[in-house]
Amino acid sequence: MRSLIRSWLAFLPVSLGLFMVLLDVSVLNVALPRIAEDFHARMSDLQWVLNAYTLTMVVLLVLAGRIGDIVRRDRYFVLGMGIFVLGSFLCAQSWSIEVLIFSRIIQAVGGAILSSNTLAIVTELFPPGQRGAVMGLNAILMASSFALGPIVGGWLTTNLSWHWVFYINVPIGIISIALAFMLLPPLEPKEKVPIDLAGTILLAIGLGSLTLGIIEGQNWGWDNQKTLACFAVAFPYLAAFAIRELNYDYPILDLSLFKIRNFTVCVAATSIIFFGTSSSFFVIPYFLQGLKGLTAEEAGYWMISIPIANTFVAPIAGRLSDKMNPKYMMCLGPILFAMGMYNMTDVDVDIKYWEFFFRLIPMGIGMGLLTSPAFNVLMSSVPPAKAGMANGTLRSVNTLAQAMGVAIGGVLITHNMKNYLPGYENIVPDPGTMAILTLLAKFNPLPLIGMVEGFIDSMHFVFSTMMWLPLASSLIIAIFLRGEEHLRRMRHEILENSKTYIKRS
């Protein structure tokens, strides 16, 4: 019991760091209009404030996770936190949009180190049979950051300034570093191997080009030469990376991990969910802030039922995943998530708060039933020496899936809008523009009525299209996941740990 309490205390600074990284994206979205006003920035500049962070994260996550396996992970965590705090301070101090974008890159370097090693640290701090509840906490942090970001960011931006969206990370980060020095035990290297520099370069170019094409394709046009060039560069480099890793003794990504069925199933299932979530959820702020006329902070309160439901479900699901076949919960979770998405297919602009609140609850429950058991099963299925590699791979694929989801969601919105407004461009209007259009539509100019009605119908179309993705995730889990194998491994590891403890006593 005493050892378990120490493990939970040691995880405290890690959870603080993870929450900061996850919260950072949704907090910043609220502050972008004020940043644009201060710097007289163009929309393309603001997009790069976000894109620079996403690109850097995707490119570095696999490498950052691999480095965590070959250095002391406790010191590596402190380094990542230090870089993230430095980047946050530089962002707050930025005197131009270019400096802000560069500072976001520094921030993302620290974020990649933190987020690619969190689950790996869990596997070292907690014995088998106790990790599920911690994975539940990890799932809570992920879900909470999504809804709490606009609330926190809206309050800071309104009552202080946009600079505090970044300044807030500094004291939290310093506290986390201090707690890490006091509470984190030495987490010794699992392997002593060289870094595959050639593989790193190939992966960086391949993933970077692919991500750039995905996140900019909506603006450039999917048949634009720049978009096609990104994809034309990405796939050969990714193929070269795969060949390199298959033939190199010390790969940064051991592709044999994908021969582990439970690892592959969990990566695929969670990525499909993240893809579906981001492709549909990105339209909700347009609906709430645009058509409903809410502030970003108020919109966060409207979506808070998701983290609330997740908070109750995720720890229980994580703990149960070590005691019963996790396949059942992991199959049920996406089905409930799909039900929540179905609830959104007939939402109209007159919907009241509590009705909206309850419509989202199945999504929070479904997310909790899937993610915490999936993270637990995934990390338990890989060799301890490759925990960081597995963690980094999971986060990289999930982040890429989220970027793809936003892009595809935008395509679905604009494609459907053309049914109401022929020749409609491939650009989703910002929430502020949507709010103005909604106000003007009350005076009955037909084109504006068509745009507002078209957006609502397009939002329904996105949810009705994307609700099938969670069902596909559930089907993959039902067919391919080996839940009993996870339980056997847990029982075996618990038995071995007990023998070791008795011998030491």
Closest CA to 316 of 273, 365, 358, 359: 365
Rg (CA), the chain: 22
Task: Give the residue, 498 or 137, on which the prediction is more confident.
Answer: 137
Q: Is the pTM of this model over 0.85?
A: no
Task: Give the residue, 220 or 101, on which the prediction is more confident.
Answer: 101
Q: Is residue 106 over pLDDT 90? A: yes
CA distance 109 to 98: 17
CA distance 57 to 18: 14
pLDDT category of residue 446 using cuts at 50, 70 and 90: very low
Instruction: Please give the average per-residue pLDDT across 10-39, as a whole number.
Output: 79
Instruction: Please give the average per-residue pLDDT across 101-109, as a whole number.
Output: 92
Q: Give me the percent of the chain exceeding a pLDDT of 90.
A: 18
In Å, what is the CA distance from 100 to each residue of 52, 174, 296, 344?
Answer: 10, 21, 22, 36
Q: Is residue 296 over pLDDT 80? A: no
Q: Which two tokens stand for residue 404?
A: 């793809």
How many CA atoms lie within 13 Å of 383's alpha carbon, on the beta-carbon side?
11
pLDDT, residue 385, reads: 83
pLDDT, residue 505, reads: 46
pLDDT, residue 337, reads: 93
Give ∠ CA 58-61-67 in degrees, rounded to 5: 155
Cα torsion 322, 323, 325, 331: sign: negative
Question: Which residues, at least 6 apart from 257, have a Cβ–Cβ distance to it below 8 Å?
Answer: 263, 264, 382, 386, 389, 390, 393
CA distance 456 to 451: 9
Q: Where are the alpha helices (DSSP H) in 93-167?
A: 97-115, 118-125, 131-159, 164-167
Q: Where are the alpha helices (DSSP H) in 221-324?
A: 225-246, 261-281, 284-285, 296-302, 305-320
Q: Is residue 423 over pLDDT 90? A: no
What burial class does residue 231 get, using C-beta atoms within 10 Å of its C-beta: 0-12 exposed, 13-18 middle, 19+ buried?
middle
Instruction: Please give the average per-residue pLDDT across 407-435, as a whole number.
Output: 63
Instruction: Please give the average per-residue pLDDT across 74-80, as a whole number.
Output: 92
Q: One-letter amino acid identity for 430?
A: D
**136-170 burial, b if ≥16 CB within 10 A, otherwise e?**
bbbbbbbbbbbbbbbbbbbebbeeeebbbbbbbbb
Dihedrals phi, psi of 247, to nearest 5 degrees: -115, 10
Most confident range, picked from 201-205, 282-286, 499-503: 201-205
Q: Is 345 helix (H, G, I), strand (E, B) or coil?
A: helix
Q: Give me the percent of the chain exceeding a pLDDT of 70.
A: 87
Q: Which two tokens stand for residue 406?
A: 């936003």
Instruction: Please give the average per-residue pLDDT across 303-320, as a whole number.
Output: 84
In Å, what is the CA distance from 285 to each residue of 292, 358, 426, 458, 493?
Answer: 10, 17, 18, 14, 45
pLDDT category of residue 136 using cuts at 50, 70 and 90: confident
Instruction: Please give the average per-residue pLDDT across 116-139, as a whole number.
Output: 79
pLDDT category of residue 1 using cuts at 50, 70 and 90: very low
CATH topology of domain 2-195+252-496: Growth Hormone; Chain: A; (1.20.1250)
Instruction: Please give the average per-residue pLDDT across 23-34, as a whole number.
Output: 74
CB 310 within 8 Å of CB 368: yes
Instruction: Please give the average per-residue pLDDT across 362-390, as a whole number.
Output: 87
DSSP 165-234: HHHTHHHHHHHHHHHHHHHPPP---S------HHHHHHHHHHHHHHHHHHHHHHHH-TTSHHHHHHHHHH
Please report, for the chain, the start and end positions of each structural domain, with discontinuous segments joined by +: 2-195+252-496
Task: Give the residue, 142 or 250, on which the prediction is more confident.
Answer: 250
Closest CA to 470 of 328, 273, 286, 295: 273
Q: Is residue 341 over pLDDT 60? A: yes
pLDDT, residue 268, reads: 92
pLDDT, residue 292, reads: 79
pLDDT, residue 499, reads: 54
Mean pLDDT of the residues in the chain: 81
pLDDT, residue 451, reads: 63
CA 217 to chain centre: 20
Q: One-letter amino acid identity for 495?
A: L
Task: Give the residue, 231 or 51, on which the prediction is more confident.
Answer: 231
Instruction: Please give the average per-residue pLDDT across 62-84, as a whole number.
Output: 90
pLDDT, residue 438, reads: 53
